[in-house]
């Protein structure tokens, strides 16, 4: 092989300048870099979700529970603040510190007993209320005859002074019975009058 042939086969570098700072540095391959960057972003997102966001949500729930418990505690304190009033009311009715008007009222246990014995075996009661010595009983779905029997039985009771009745007939086309809605007003005897009688 001659010198000329050797010279032709060897290729000499065609760069005219050389940067020694770049010597030995490999270029970044985008086929590897892009998936690596995506993996780093996904890892960072998962870390922030499980390590940061989930903990913030748990803290928020815990704060809401604490706020609810604090509200309940405050409600309890508010109820305890009114304990003195309830205690006074209890003492008022328990230790005979009643006014004359309260002492003259018919015993409510006797009233309930009268309703259980006289009214309920014959007819259901829609509602009843007592104000002072005046009692109102609302009934429906009974006949006039049943209401009259109840009224006569009430008049025989020792705690009853007298009764009045208001009825409203409700005729149903399909129902042949005379069902009525009745309001019986019962005037109860005052305790002082019971003692005299």
Q: Give percent of the chain above pLDDT 90.
A: 10
The residue-averaged pLDDT of 170-185 equals 72
Residue 177 above 80 pLDDT? no
Q: Kindly list the distances between the CA atom of residue 48 and the CA atoms of 40, 56, 98, 105, in Å, as whole numbers in the listed order.
A: 12, 11, 70, 73
Residue 53 above 70 pLDDT? yes
Domain boundary among 82, 97, 112: 97
Look at the chain and report how many structural domains it folds into. Answer: 2
Domain boundary among 74, 97, 120: 97
Q: Please tell me which residue, 120 or 197, carries the higher pLDDT value.
A: 120
Residue 87: CA count within 13 A, CB half-sphere: 6
Residue 11 domain-assigned? no
Residue 36 domain-assigned? yes
Are 113 and 85 in the same domain? no
Are 143 and 190 in the same domain? yes
What's the pLDDT tens digit per position in 82-92?
Answer: 777 777 777 76
Are 135 and 190 in the same domain? yes
Backbone region of residue 96 per phi and psi (left: phi > 0; alpha: psi in -120 to 50; beta: other values)? left
pLDDT at 178: 67
The answer to whether 90 and 175 have CB atoms below 8 angstroms apart is no
CATH code at 192? 3.30.70.60
Residue 159 domain-assigned? yes
Dihedral of the alpha carbons of 150, 154, 155, 157, in degrees to the nearest 10: 150
Q: Give percent of the chain above pLDDT 70.
A: 72
Considering only CA atoms, give the Rg of the chain.
48
| Predicted confidence band of residue 5 (pLDDT cuts 50, 70, 90) | low
Are 183 and 112 in the same domain? yes
Residue 187 domain-assigned? yes
Are 148 and 109 in the same domain? yes
Are 90 and 111 in the same domain? no
pLDDT at 195: 47
The answer to whether 167 and 82 have CB atoms below 8 angstroms apart is no
Are 48 and 108 in the same domain? no
Are 180 and 121 in the same domain? yes
Are 77 and 154 in the same domain? no
Q: What is the value of pTM for the model shown?
A: 0.45
The residue-averaged pLDDT of 122-144 equals 86
Residue 120 domain-assigned? yes
**Among the ranges 6-15, 16-25, 47-56, 110-119, which has the highest mean pLDDT value?**
110-119
pLDDT at 196: 46
Q: How far apart are the C-alpha atoms of 125 and 109, rounded to whole Å?
A: 17
pLDDT at 64: 92
Average of per-residue pLDDT values in the chain = 78
Range of the domain at 79: 29-97
Domain boundary among 78, 97, 116: 97
Are 118 and 185 in the same domain? yes
pLDDT at 197: 46
Residue 128 above 60 pLDDT? yes
Q: How far apart are the first and last CA of the chain?
A: 155
Are 72 and 122 in the same domain? no
Are 126 and 85 in the same domain? no
The residue-averaged pLDDT of 97-107 equals 68
């Amino acid at each position: 092989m001659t010198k000329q042939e050797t010279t032709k086969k060897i290729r000499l570098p065609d760069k005219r300048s050389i940067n020694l700072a770049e010597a030995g540095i490999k270029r970044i391959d985008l086929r590897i870099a892009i998936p690596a960057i995506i993996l780093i972003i996904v890892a960072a997102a998962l870390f922030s979700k499980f390590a940061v966001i989930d903990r913030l949500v748990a803290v928020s729930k815990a704060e809401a529970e604490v706020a609810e418990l604090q509200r309940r505690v405050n409600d309890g304190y508010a109820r305890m603040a009114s304990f003195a009033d309830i205690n006074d009311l209890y003492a008022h009715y328990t230790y005979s510190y009643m006014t004359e008007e309260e002492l003259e009222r018919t015993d409510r246990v006797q009233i309930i007993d009268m309703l259980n014995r006289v009214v309920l075996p014959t007819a259901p009661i829609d509602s009843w209320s007592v104000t002072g010595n005046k009692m109102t009983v609302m009934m429906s779905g009974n006949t006039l005859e049943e209401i009259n029997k109840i009224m006569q039985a009430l008049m025989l009771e020792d705690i009853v002074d007298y009764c009045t009745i208001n009825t409203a007939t409700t005729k149903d086309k399909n129902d042949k019975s005379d069902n009525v809605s009745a309001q019986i007003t019962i005037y109860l005897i005052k305790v002082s009058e019971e003692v005299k009688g």
